[in-house]
Structure formats: structure tokens, C-alpha cells
Structure 1
Amino acid sequence: MIKTKHTEQALQNNEQRYRPIIETTSEGYCLFNQSAEIIEVNQSFCTMLGYHQEEILGKKLDDFFDDANLKIFKEEFSKNASTWHRSYEITLKHKKGRDVFVYLKVTSLKDDISHSWLSFALITDRRKWTEKGLIGFLHLSDKITERQYAEKALRDSEDRLRTVADFTYNWEYWIDPKGNFLYVSPSCQRISGYSNEEFQRNPKLLEEIIHPDDLLSFKKHFQQNHIFKEEYPTYFSEFRITTRNGEIRWLAHVCQPVFDIDGRWLGRRASHQDITEQKRAEKAREETHKFLEKIMNSATNAIFVLDLEGQFLKINPACSKITGYPVEELIGQPFSIVFTPETLPKINPQFIKVAFKGETVSQFETEIIRKEGSRAIITFSIAPMRNSGQIVSVVGTAEDITARKQTEKALRESEERFRSLVEQAVDAIFVHDLEGRFVDVNLKACESVGYTRQELLKLSISDIDIGINLEHLKKLWQQMAFGIPIMLEGVRRHREGSTFQVDVRLGLIKWNDSKYILSAARDISERKQVEETLRKRDLQFKMAQEIANLGSYTVNLTTGEQEWSDQMFQILGVTQKEVSPSYDNFMLFVHPADQDKLAEELQAAFGGKKSLDSHYRIIRKEGNMRFVHSGGKVEYNPDGKPLWLYGFTQDITERKRAEEKLIVQSKILESMAEGVTLADDLGQIFLTNPAFDSMFGYEREELKGQHISILHAGPFEKSIQIIKEMMAILKKTAVWQGEIKNRKKDGSLFITYAHISALEISGKPYWVSVQEDITERKQAEEALKQAIASANSE
């Protein structure tokens, strides 16, 4: 009997030890027999399914399983009742009919004596836990002695309650008044990385792994629990721990005091729930909420939420701006407040489609009336917002398109004006796609190529442009950017076959959401002719400057700035990089003996007193002295102020030397006793010396420009023939010599001995003739012949 009493007391102690764990755990627990009748539940199970304890007791599991899950459960139970250990993700039926998603972990325990079965289960709501719960099967004997029954009940109770406690998903523990762990559930290792044996060996281990920032509050709570155990029946807190592998995890802590049947305080029972993911989710939700709030507040379009009665629940600043109502004033108002009486009948059906039929409305255009009475045009889109599949509100966005509408109207009017201007434009305007096909042209375009508008719209750019690489142009068109025109030149073909040059300006435009090329072409045939003429003249001018070794310059008489032609630098023997155009730099090259004279003449020219005409010497970079001639003319403004000096500088060194040489040659030529003449290949006389003029009886320079035929005796035709034969010989041999019968100005005849040579001057053929009057010698020779003949006859 005493042993039975002890057994009963142990049973009661075990009940007191484990019962608080079962009753306070957040996991659902139920005990049912083999008939599936529920005989015991904890409060969490009742809360999970929406029942009171008295409502559930006696019910069968069939009332909470749907058909599919119940069938699987019974089949598994019947096959593996003695060794059952399964995990499930299933749905149970709530009292209100909705589904409750849970994880279910089941196991079995078989009694060695009895053949009757009892069952219990711990169920975890899937929304809170990531592991499963437990079902255990216990056997109770009904054919043993009272002592055996008490002992058996004690073992069963302890096994049952420990099994339930060990299989709880949360980290459960019981700490005695001295701070020692009486019980620690195995879940502690999953959460902290430390085993329950380690916590029981080291009561301070829990404090050691608590995050330093949370340790003080936890110690304070622990001390208060031991001092004021009556005032703190249940305590909730959250803190962080550092797991064995260094990971920081968040725990939800709940504890309450434990008393025996006599009211003695036995310590506190606590439960730690790992809420790390929940914290992360909360943080993510918080950040997402802040992010969405920022988006909503910074959005340029209106964003709003309506309840199912059409009242504003939330709006962003853009919505307030569009409607003219302050945020706090519009909240709670019906949406009809912002619509005009004319548009409201069209708006109500749109709201009904979304709020009660679950449809969406996109880009609905309508008119609203602002708070101050002005009207605006908007487009709005609305969609249903659901919670658990049920429509709870309507969310929408709106855009004020009043300005856009006004712009579109202005654009249409502008397009009409533009079309009128385009049609009257002097340029030929073509619009084509990125493949080169024409989509629009103006009247000038039609006239320029000789086609009608209808005909051109059937053609492409390759039909009117000559020598183009269409593939190259397509790549160019693809690379073009808006607002950056491209200038091209080309040759265009008229319908009749003639061609003409065009200057084309290409621009990328957007038309009906597609890209096109706008081409403005102008006939530049006449301009090209002018440019070619100018180019030739410029080339001739440059060539003339090079040939004449002549450079040009421009002086701004207001600022003193100068510009030199390329030939100016060549005359000085420097490059443009070595010397910049200026008065001082130029004077550095002037011969010291000529600097004062040139400076005086330049200052007079700069002041507009007279034009510049100066001869002086320069010393080039390499040290050579050259003779130059500079001239210039001043341009004045209407008030007579000198503005510009335009001038030239010519290297006349060679000319100076040639002049000196010519002087010498001229003196030699003038002093010669023989007559000398120079004529071109056509027989025109260019030069004679005094002896030649005197020989033929002409004044100086009188023969210049005359044809040499006037010097020959005999008829004109015969003279010409003789000259041609003579020139033919000269072309072959370059030299001719012999006697020529000539005629003087007075008509008298005389004979000369001529030596004629061919020479080339500046690429042109000339003939130089040196003649000696042999008339007297010929007469003497003739007299001698006659005398000899007379003597012989005698």
C-alpha cells in the first residue's frame, strides 16, 4: 500500500512536471483512442481549430480530416499501428469551415501487456513552424493489480509526457528555483547547436550564448522571476542567441511559474521558439513597406486604394496634386467626389466590374473636376486587391493627361501648319522608312524628280539616287540618333534620265511609334559649278603664288592680328608651327639695314596714310638673303577709319638676278655687230637688237610683233614657203645656216648670212637668228668673177 502511495505520488509529480509543458506549448496536442475518439486536448489544439475544449472532447478525427487525408491516415494506421512514425503536411477543418494548413508528425508506442490502444498527437500550424508534430500510441492494461496499475500508470504517464515534451518543435525547458535545468527538450540542439545534456551540465550556458545587447534584460527578467514569482505568472520576451556555429538567431521566450499541488514553487517552465525567419520576414516586410511607401510617395502618377463602397482608403501625394484635395481631406470620401456629373454614369460600371466581378480596367480615359472647380483629363487603371482569395479593396493608378491632350491638339494644328509649310518649301522633302521605301513627299520632291506623289510612294530611295550603297545607308540609318542630323551629297536621277547633284540633310523622326528618315534635298548643280570655278581659281591663285613665289597677308588694323598664306611661311623659310603671324615676328626676318625704312612704310600703311609698296631684303631661317617686294591696300569704314590691310609679299630674288643678267645680256646684245632676232614657231618677232634694226632700216622696237615674212625678198607666198621649209629643217636638226636674200624697209634688197638655232622658253619653241650683211662681199665676189671671166676671154 505504501509503495502504491509512493507510485501515485511519483505519478502526480511527473504530471506536475510535464503537464505545464503540454498545456503551455504553442503546438496542438490531442489524445485519442483506437476508435479515433478524442479524449484529451490542450488549449493550442482548440485555438488552432476554433473550438473550446468541451466541444472537441468526444469528437472523432473524421470531423477534422477531409476525405482524402482521412483515407491516407487510416490506411497507414491500420498497416503500421505498432511501429508507426510518419510526417505529414495536411489540412484540417476549422470550426468555421476554412482550411487550416498544418504539419503533423506521428509516432507509436506499444504496451507489452494490454491489447487496447490510446493515441495522442501534437500538431504544428504550418504557418509558424518548419518542422512537424507528433502522434504517439500508448497501451493501458485493464487486468492488473492496483499496485501494478499505479506503477504502470506512472510509467505510461512519464513516457507519454516525456515523449510529448521531447517531440515538441520548440525548445522547452524547466528550471528549478536554484537555476538548474530539470528538463531541456532535444529541440535545443536544432535551435542553438548545443545538446540538452550540455545545458543540464552547465546551467549558465544559456546566458553565455545570449547576445550581449540582450543579456542584461534577460538577467533582470530572470532575477525578477525568482524574487517576484507570484507577480509574473507569464512572461513574454524576445532576444538573440549566438549558436555554436556563430550564427545569430532570434528566440521568442515565454515562461510561467510551476507549482505543485501544495502550492510550492517548483521553478519556471519556459519555451523558446525560433523566430529568426519570422524576424527576417518582418524586416523584409518592413523594408518592402518602406520601399513601397517611397515608390508610392515619389510616383508621378496618382496611386489610390478604394474600399468596396468606393471610398478612398489611401492616396499618394500625386493623387492629391491631380485632384486638388489634401490627402487627409480625400481619405474617407467616395470616388464620385472627383468626377463630373456627365462622366460618373460611365465610371460606376467600371468600379462594379472590378470590385464585384474581379475584372481589371486599363487606361480608361475620362474627365475629373478638381476641388477648385477646374477640369482635367485623366486615364486610370484599377484592379481588385484580394486577401485569401476574397476581394477586399480596389487599387488603382491615374495619370493627368490634360497637358498631353492639349499638346496633342496643338500637335495636330502644328502638323497641319507644318504640312502647309512643307508643301511650300523650296527643298525637296522625302520621308522614308529604314528600308528606304518612301512614305511621304512634298510637292517640290515630286517636281525635282518628275514623278507624281502616288508614283513616288511606290518607289524607294534606290530608284532615284545614283551610285548609292543601300546596305551601307541602312546601317547608317539604324545608327542615327534623334536630333543629330547628317549631311550628305549625292547624285539624283530625274524621271526623264537627266541627273543633278543634291545636298541632302537627313534626320531621324518618330511617326506613329515607328522610326523614319526625313530627307531634305536641294539641287546644288549651280552651286557646284560655282564651287568648281572658285576651286579652280583658288588653285590657280595658289599655283600662281607658288610660281611667282608670292604670299598674301591680312592685317586687322584695329586689333593688330594678322593672317598669312602658306606661301608667306615658305618665303621666310619656316613652318606655321615655328612662327605665328605678327608684325614683330615678321620684322625679325627683315635685313637690319632695311628695317627702319620698312617700319616707316608699314606704319604709314597701317595708319591709312598711303598704300604699301616696298622693296627690301630678308634673311631666311637658314641664313640665306632674299629680295622681296611687299604691297598692300587699306580698307576703310564709312567714317574713313582704316580697318584692314590686304597685301602681298613676293620673293623677287630670282627676278632681281635675272634682271641683272638681262642687263648684262642686253648690253652684250646691243653691242653686237651682227643683227639678232627672236621669233616664235609661228614666225612672230619678239626681240631685235639695234644692229638688226639698222641692218633692215627700221626704228628700234618697230619690228616687234611683226611677222618675219616682211623681211624676205620675193612675193609673200614664196616667202612663206621658204620660211616653212626652213622651220621644217630646224625641227629636225635644231640648226640652220645659210644665205638669205632680204628686203629692207625702203624696199632695197641685200644678202645676209644667217645662223638660226631652235630653243625653248617656258615650254614654248622659239628661233633665234644671228645675221651678218654680206652684200658688199657678195658684190665683190661677183665683180671678181666677172673680172676673171673677162680676163679669160681676152
Structure 2
Amino acid sequence: MTIATKGKGNPEGLAGDKYFISLIEHAADGIAILQDGVFKMVNTALARMSGYDKKELLGMPFTHLLTPQSQKLTIERYQARLAGKKVRPVYEIKAISKDGKIRDIEINAALTEYEGRVADEIIVRDVTERKQVEHNLQERMKELGGLYRIASIAERPGITLDEINQETVKLLPQGWQYPEVACAQLTIDGKEFRTANYRETEWKQFADIKVHGIKAGMVVVGYLEERPASDEGPFLKEERSLIDAVAERLGQITDRKQAEEALADEVTRRRILIDQSRDGIVVLDENGKVYEANQQFAEMLGYTPEEATQLHVWDWEFVFPREQVLEMIRSVDAAGDHFETQHRRKDGTTIDVEISTNGAICAGQKLIFCVCRDITERKQAEEELKLRAQILDGATDIIQVHDASDNFVYVNEAACIAYGYSREELMKMKLTQIVAPERLRPLASDRQELLETGHIIVESAHMRKDGSVFPVEVHARTIESGGGKLFLTVARDITERKQVEEALKAEKNKLQSLIDAIEDGLNIRDKDFNIIYQNEPVRRLYGDRIGEKCYRVYEGRDRVCDGCP
């Protein structure tokens, strides 16, 4: 009895029942069996992923689909598995599709036996989109972190503009892709601020610092060595956004600091406390008319100080109607009030403001002291952060950030759904509380590897609120923040994949059992008439003749038998 030649009636190279074949064909991940480095079986998902037809893939070397660096890694891991060494079954490499595009793929490989010989059983997943999401997330966090640190520097009491610029230029290389070879320079109002390693280089990008729409300086970030080409020379498009944002922020800081320093020089009796404030301060009488206002308040609204003294509160108040404003003025006392509203500027635009008010009697007249803070940027930042949170909450994978003490500092909506906890509950928990008990011991070694390499991919098991456990594939990486090192993890429930793996294993065993139970002689040959399998009855009759020509062994002929396909 002979099984049909591979590549003819069954091009997938797999004999089995319809359920087994359907299970593989409908899997979302690519599935293949490799033997001697070439494809022996592939499913439709892998063909679609690679861009080749299944017939083209069968017999093709697996390395034909990989970049040179990935070929080397894959061969090394395969040889290590053959040698019995412990090798992580899951790893990421880069593949080349038929159209020449390079994609990130994740390989889950294990040794198996196929048609009586050692083979590699692999599951392939296209992770290009996920890698891009991880990259974008990290770049966004770097960008926000850099801008936050610059803002924090600018907010230090008593710090000068020169000190802000010098500390800012030291921070800049950390926000770029290759900080170890990055340098930076700021020029503003004729002054230069540089990192210690700065020198002129051909690999640089820059952005103008503008104050009141006029160029006042420039931010320059360069690489001391050549780096791979990207969106803008060796620089990422995100780095263009970052340097533009830094320049814009420095322009705002410069504008504000210059105004503050100019105001600080104007020492007058009544403006020692008022005009040095970075907030707008206005004093109203009980009729809502401006009694006195500082320079900042007038500038917030786009008026000159002289124009500001002629205004009533309803000339700029945008939210509350006139009668309600008058009632608020009448009711405010020394205890004061604190609220947010919007002010209308002279040009008709509006700004978000935070106001603290106090009422007091001065020389028999009730006056209302108002401190107005422009929170437009803060509101915009809050909206941007809210949008980013919504984007992360829209992800189907579990995304979490925790600190070195395993305390969660961020979880997305998918995490809440997966574990059965509310966001408030999860934010009070530690990572170890959602890891299944049997996986706590490997967690320590995984963490050590993460600290050493900065990125790991592991399989683990997580536990829901109800105590049930589910398998996950975890991609973890370290990220730097102003508060120290954090750990970003993206976890995916792989219950379905595990079920597929178990089904594959069961069907493989079932197929082998069927073959072993055959009492008649059974052999399998390839398309070149080489014997590639013999069952026990055939071996008893002819001996172990694997690799020899079937017509010589069984017919004693020197050529193919007549009529043999």
C-alpha cells in the first residue's frame, strides 16, 4: 500500500481527516511543517501572509522568506533545538513577502516528527502592526516625557532663562532614537547652549524658535555618526514633531520669561506683589468695573493696561451672564471662591482660565481680588492625554504599565475586561496579583532578562478576579520616565492558539497510531522515487532502505517500472 506522492493530489503534504485539515486551514496564524529547511506543509494564512501561492511555497526553503540577519538567527535556533539545548520557542524575526516588503513576524517553533523524520512545526504571526503600535506608544511617551521635563524646568522658582536653556539642551539627546551618539545646541538671542559633545555634523535636524512670530533662535539635534536612513535622513517623523514641539515650547518659555524678567525690573509701590505674578490679577469694584489690573491680565485679554482699566467684567466673561456675575460679586467674601471659566479676548478668541477670588473691604469699599490663570495649554494637554487614553482603551490587547515595585500606573480598558476588575481596583493592585501562582517563580528570571535586554517575549498565565486562569503571550519592554524606569507590557490571550496546538498534537498522534496499526507493508516515496518511509512489515522483508530507489529495492530494476506514475 502506497500513499500518494506529495505535491499531486494533496499539495499541502498532509494526510489526515477533514477536521484536522480544516482546523489548520481556518487558523488565523500561519502554520507550516519544515523538513530539511523546506516547507512540507503550509496553510492558507501563511500563503496569504507571504504573498506566495501554497504550491509555490511547498519545497521552498524557509530562509528564502527571511532577511539575512533573520536567516542566521533562525538557523542558529533550529540547530540548538536539534542539539537538545533549551531555546525559547517564541521569537521575532523579519520576513520578506513576495512583493519585497519586510514585515515583522513572530515564530513559535518546536521539533516534531513528520513522516518518520525530525521536522520543525512552526506557527507564524504577523506582528508588524503591533510593533508599530508599540513603537508609536513609546515615541509618544518619550515626546510627552521630554516636554513635561522641559515644562518642569521652566516652572522652578527663581530659575533664569539661561539656566532653562542650558538644562533643556542637556535633556534633548534623550528623546532621540540614538541618544548615545546624539548632541544638541540651542541658539537664542545671540547666546549658545550646547551639550559637552556637540560638534558640527552632516546628520542633523533643526527647528526655529519664534517669539511673537519672529525668529529668535534655533534648536539643533545631530548625530555624531551615520545612522540608517529613516523619514528625514536618519531621523524619525516623530522626532520632527518632537523638535518642532520643543522649539515652540522654548519660544513660549522665552516669551514668558522675558516678560517676567522685564516686569521684575519695574519696581513700583503697588506692583511689587501684583506685576511680578505670572497670573493675571484684576481687582473689581462691587459694580463689576476694573479697579486695577496688572500687565499680565491685560495681555491675557489682548488689551493695553490703560484699556483694561476701562473694562467691566462682562466685557471679557464668556460663560456667566451679566446678572449672575453681579450676584457672584455681591456674594463673595474673604473665604473666597475658586472656579474655571472662559474669557473673551479683545480679538474675539477665548481662553480657558482658572480663577481664585476673595472679597475684602478697603477704605469702606468692597473690592474683589481675582487671580486669573490661563490654563488653555493645560486643557489642551488634558484633551490630548484623554484622546491618547481612548486610543489605548480601544486596543484589544491588554496594555499595562507598572513600576519597579510592580504597582500599576496605567491599565487600558481591555485589561479591565480581561481580568474582571474595575480600573480603580486594578490601579490599587500589583502585577503579582494577576499572575497565576504557578507563574510567579519564573517571573523573577523574566524580569532579570527584561532589565538586561530591555525587551522580552514570554508565555505566562494570568488570573481573573473569579480565580480562573488563562494563558497569555506577554511582550514587555522597559521605558524611561521622569520618575524612573517603568515597564510596558502588552499581553494577548492565547487560549485559542493553545487549543489549536493541542488539537494539532492530538491529530498528529492519531495519524501516527493509524499508520502504526497497518499490518500490510506500507512505504512512502517522494517524486524522485526515493523511499522516505517504511513501516515495520516492509522493514522486516527488505530491511531499512530509506533513501534508496523504490524500483531497485522492490523490483530489482535499474529504471522506473513501466506504468508507474
TM-score interval for Structure 1 and Structure 2 normalised by the shorter chain: 0.3 to 0.5
TM-score (norm 1): 0.26
Q: Report which of the two structures shows the higher radius of gyration computed on alpha carbons.
A: 1
Give TM-score, length-normalised by structure 2. 0.35
Higher relative contact order (CA 8 A, sep 6+): 2
